[in-house]
């Protein structure tokens, strides 16, 4: 008979799984308690949640979920597992994981489900280098802004040349040189 605590945790996991845009499964073995707390804070700063649970409870929550991509991740649930749930930007928590672990090479990403697609550890290593949505939007706006700025500068140059020509003509007339 499952305990009330475990039932409540499975329900919480199911709710988070259904809301999340991305879910990452992390092996945090080797981190000290202080490092785990700092890691959790960094995850929270990237607008995500981190939950540590027994693999059997995570499996139950996944099996009761309709997302088949999540079911592919069940085989990765070995050893200690922390689950990272992202509700807004699906990539930024994954970047936070790698930023935190850059020096320590910990924690290790077992796999991730991003926007309904299962990604193995190797695929996640590639995904971490993808810019966030905000960065991509900024690049697109910058790219669109550049030609417009060039066009405006070009028009400004033409206007300035016209003003200089009129000024020169006025100076010549005032000197009495041109009629």
**Do 140 and 157 sit in the same domain of this protein?**
yes
Q: Residue 90 pLDDT more than 90? A: no
Range of the domain at 120: 4-130
Which helix or strand (DSSP H or E) is residue 49 part of?
Answer: strand 48-52
Angstrom CA distances, 42 to 39, 98, 111, 112, 142, stand at 5, 11, 19, 18, 29
**Do 80 and 138 sit in the same domain of this protein?**
no
Beta bridge partners, 85, equal 23, 49
**Do 25 and 99 sit in the same domain of this protein?**
yes
Segment 154-165, tens digit of pLDDT: 777 777 777 778
Q: Residue 178 pLDDT more than 60? A: no
Number of domains in the chain: 2
Preceding omega of 103 cis (within 30 degrees of 0): no
How high is the pLDDT of residue 52? 92
**Do 11 and 80 sit in the same domain of this protein?**
yes
Residue range 130-148: mean pLDDT, rounded: 77
Angstrom CA distances, 49 to 29, 35, 99, stand at 18, 16, 16
């Amino acid at each position: 008979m499952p305990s009330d605590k475990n039932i409540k945790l499975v329900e919480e996991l199911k709710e988070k799984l259904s809301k999340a845009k991305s879910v990452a499964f992390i092996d945090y073995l080797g981190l000290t308690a202080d490092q785990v707390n700092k890691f959790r804070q960094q995850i929270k700063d990237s607008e995500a949640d981190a939950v540590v649970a027994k693999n059997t409870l995570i499996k139950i929550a996944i099996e009761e979920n309709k997302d088949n991509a999540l079911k592919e991740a069940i085989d990765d649930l070995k050893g200690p597992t922390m689950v990272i749930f992202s509700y807004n930007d699906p990539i930024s928590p994954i970047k936070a994981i790698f930023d935190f672990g850059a020096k320590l090479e910990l924690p290790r990403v077992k796999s991730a489900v991003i926007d309904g697609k299962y990604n193995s550890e190797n695929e996640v290593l590639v995904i971490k280098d993808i810019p966030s949505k905000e960065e991509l939007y900024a690049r697109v706006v910058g790219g669109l802004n550049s030609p417009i700025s060039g066009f405006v500068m070009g028009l400004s140059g033409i206007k300035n040349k016209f003003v200089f020509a009129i000024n020169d003509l006025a100076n010549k007339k005032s000197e009495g040189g041109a009629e």
